[in-house]
Structures are given as structure tokens and as C-alpha cells.
């Protein structure tokens, strides 16, 4: 399976993401610059964290109009797995690939610490290696992770089991403790915590690795190995 | 040529953590009559005349980029100015 890590000016978790895929997961991965005009050769798309375009205007608001995003939307429509972490999640929200928006953290502080998450839905292509209801520890690092959507959208998210991860203890004021949501088709996941920073027990936690393993497992099941 | 002033502010229904912090700060400075502060953005755009209706252009710009309709409202004022 071949992954693309999209790099915007101001991305800063791209190297961690690349490392997680290449060294810990053992799959192919390449960096793709924000002005790329095709993603056809990739099986999975990863939008890393950081401060794309300096977070000017709103987080993710400018990155959302970069050339590669048209290709990300195309890949999403084609059913490829798309994972947006932190700023990547914010970009997916701005692009309308996921519903809702981010507000400043309730405390107004930048929060950087490991947090406990609950796996609310383990039937997605991103979470099928976890147990349902499992508690995992993954770090967050953000100033704007206070998820918001209107009541109608929230009811929809609940009805369709699109809330994938919740915080056990809400760090940022996020609505209903939401830490990560998936689109209706089940192939676009956005989450504030950084699974790519939790892929080695030596560095605190390896709980994020199963997320990437789930993606690969699902992909292999639907792609017959060519002889 | 137009000068356009755009104001973007969080919707009434959306909690504004920055505004709340400033409200508390003002209250602790003894301005107890201040009951609410909401913080927004103010932008000035210079736009050349084109064949398109200026209101239509500004609405489109606000909706697409300057404001996030999920959490923010916007309003604007258009001033026509003479190019020297």
C-alpha cells in the first residue's frame, strides 16, 4: 500500500507521519507538495498536523484552496482512505469533506499532552484493529480543537455512528467530547489527537499504530495481491 | 474602484471563548456593566470595478473564504472611490 503525506507550507508533523508509515508500519510513503496536480498513484492520503499558511484567517482556511485539495476531494470521492490529523482535520472541515468547524480551545491555551480516548466506533476502516469502547492514549497538540457543529449535524453524526473517537476527559471544550469524526461514506477520518506520535512504546505509547494497521488491513482485504 | 469593509464575527449560537475571557477581564477591572464581549475580524478590501455586480462578488468572497458559514456571520460596507 502506498501513502501520500501532503505537505503544505507550515506543515510540521509531516516527518512524524512519514516515519510512522515507513519505519513503524513498513509501507511505502512519499511526501507530496501542496501544488501537486495528481494523487492517482497513491492508495491512501494523509494530511498531517502543523500550521499551514500560518493559520492565517482561520485554521485550514487557505490550505483548503491549494491545488492538491482538488485531488484530495477526488480521492475521497473515489473511496480512498483519507486521514486528517490536527491541522489536517481542520483542513478537511474547511474543505467540507467533514461537517462542522473548530473554535479556539475553551481555555484559550495551546494544549500539548497525552490524552485518553475512547474508541466509539471500531467498525471503520481506520479503527477495526481496536476493540469497541477501548481506551487508548494518544497525544494532542493544538490551540483550536474545540469542535463545533449545529444540533442537526450532531444528531446525524450520532445516528450514523460517525463519531469515532471521544475524549475521556475533555481537554478543549469540544462538543460531546468529540476528538475524531468520519464522513458518511466511511473513508475520510479527521481527528485532533496525533496517532503518528504514538507508534512506539519507547516514546510513550504505541496505541496509534493500530489505526494505520487498520487502514492497511482493510486495503489488503479489498485488493487482490497481483502475482 | 471600491473600498470594502468586511466584518466577520462568530454566530450568536457559538460560544466565543476569547470574548468570554475579555468580559471577565473587564468585569475584574470593575466595569461590571459589561455583560458580553464578542470578538471578530475586520478586513479592508480594495476591489477594482468589473462587469460583475460588486455585492455579488463580495458575498461570494465572504462565503468562500473570509468567513466560515458554519460558525461565523459576516456583514460588509461598500464605498465607491475615485481613482486619482
What domains sit in chain B, N to C, each tagged with a CATH number? Answer: 2-80 (3.30.1280.10)
Flag whether pLDDT at A227 surpasses 60: no
Of B13, B15, B71, the CB nearest to A101: B71
Instruction: Find the distance separating the first CA and the last CA of chain B, reported in whole Å.
Output: 10
Shortest distance between the Cα of B23 and any Cα of chain A, in A, equals 14
Q: Give tens-digit pLDDT for B7-61.
A: 999 999 898 989 999 999 999 999 999 999 999 999 999 999 999 999 999 999 9
Q: Where are the domains of chain A?
A: 2-222
Cell reading at B30: 470593575
Among B68, B69, B74, pick the best mutation site for testing chain A contact (most A Cβ within 10 A).
B68
Catalytic residue, chosen from A27, A71, A144, A196, is A196
Grid coordinates representing A122 are 471500531
- Nearest residue of A to residue B18, measured between CA atoms: A108
Give the DSSP letter string of chain A.
-EEEEEE-TTB-SHHHHHHIIIIII--EEEEEETT-S--TT-SEEEE--B-GGGG-SSTTTTGGGSHHHHHHHHHHHTT--EEEETHHHHHHHHTTSSS-EEE--TT-S-EEEEEEEEE----STTTTTSPTT-EEEEEEEES--EEE--HHHHHHHHHTT-EEEEESS-SS--GGGEEEEE-TTS-EEEESS-GGG-SBGGGTB-TTHHHHHHHHHHHHHHSPPP-
Tell me the sheet residues that pair with A45: A4, A82
Chain A: residue whose CA lies nearest to B8: A57
Q: Would you give the distance in Å from CA B48 to the centre of its chain?
A: 21
Closest CA to A144 of A6, A7, A49: A49
Q: Which pLDDT score is estimated for A141?
A: 98
Prediction ipTM score: 0.84
List, for residues A118-134, the tens digit of each pLDDT value: 999 999 999 999 999 99
Per-residue confidence (pLDDT) for residue B84, from 0 to 100: 66
Report the residue from B16, B65, B70 with minimal CB separation from A100. B70
Which residues, at least 6 apart from A202, have a Cβ–Cβ distance to it below 8 Å?
none
Q: What is the DSSP secondary structure assignment for residue A75, as one 8-state letter? A: H
Cα B27 to Cα A63: distance, rounded to the nearest angstrom: 38
pLDDT in tens, A29-62: 999 999 999 999 999 999 999 999 999 999 999 9
Instruction: Identify the CATH class of A2-222.
Output: alpha beta
pLDDT of residue A222: 87
Amino acid at each position: 500500500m502506498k501513502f501520500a503525506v501532503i505537505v503544505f507550507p507550515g506543515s510540521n508533523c509531516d516527518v512524524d507521519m512519514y516515519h510512522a508509515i515507513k519505519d513503524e508500519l513498513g509501507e511505502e510513503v512519499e511526501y507530496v507538495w501542496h501544488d501537486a496536480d495528481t494523487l492517482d498513484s497513491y492508495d491512501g492520503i494523509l494530511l498531517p498536523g502543523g500550521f499551514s499558511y500560518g493559520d492565517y484567517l482561520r485554521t485550514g482556511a487557505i490550505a483548503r484552496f491549494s491545488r492538491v485539495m482538488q485531488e484530495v476531494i477526488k480521492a475521497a470521492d473515489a473511496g480512498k482512505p483519507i486521514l486528517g490529523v490536527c491541522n489536517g482535520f481542520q483542513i478537511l472541515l474547511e474543505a467540507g469533506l467533514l461537517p462542522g468547524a473548530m473554535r479556539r480551545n475553551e481555555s484559550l491555551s495551546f494544549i500539548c499532552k497525552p490524552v485518553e480516548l475512547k474508541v466509539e466506533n471500531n467498525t471503520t476502516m481506520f479503527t477495526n484493529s481496536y476493540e469497541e469502547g477501548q481506551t487508548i492514549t494518544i497525544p494532542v497538540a493544538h490551540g483550536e480543537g474545540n469542535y463545533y457543529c449545529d444540533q442537526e449535524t450532531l444528531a446525524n453524526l450520532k445516528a450514523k455512528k460517525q463519531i469515532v473517537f471521544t475524549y475521556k476527559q475533555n481537554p478543549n471544550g469540544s462538543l460531546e467530547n468529540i476528538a475524531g469524526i468520519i464522513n458518511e461514506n466511511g473513508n475520510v477520518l479527521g481527528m485532533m489527537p496525533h496517532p503518528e506520535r504514538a507508534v512506539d512504546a519507547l516514546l510513550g505509547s504505541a496505541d496509534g499504530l493500530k489505526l494505520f494497521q487498520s487502514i492497511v488491513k482493510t486495503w489488503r482485504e479489498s485488493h487482490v495481491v497481483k502475482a | 474602484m471600491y473600498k470594502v469593509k468586511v466584518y466577520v464575527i462568530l454566530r450568536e449560537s457559538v460560544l466565543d471563548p476569547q470574548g468570554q475571557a475579555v468580559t471577565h477581564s473587564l468585569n475584574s477591572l470593575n466595569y461590571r456593566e459589561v455583560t458580553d464581549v464578542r470578538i471578530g475580524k475586520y478586513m479592508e478590501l480594495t476591489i477594482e470595478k468589473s462587469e460583475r455586480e460588486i455585492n455579488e462578488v463580495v458575498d461570494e468572497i465572504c462565503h468562500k473564504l473570509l468567513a466560515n458559514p458554519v460558525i461565523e456571520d459576516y456583514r460588509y460596507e461598500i464605498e465607491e472611490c475615485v481613482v486619482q
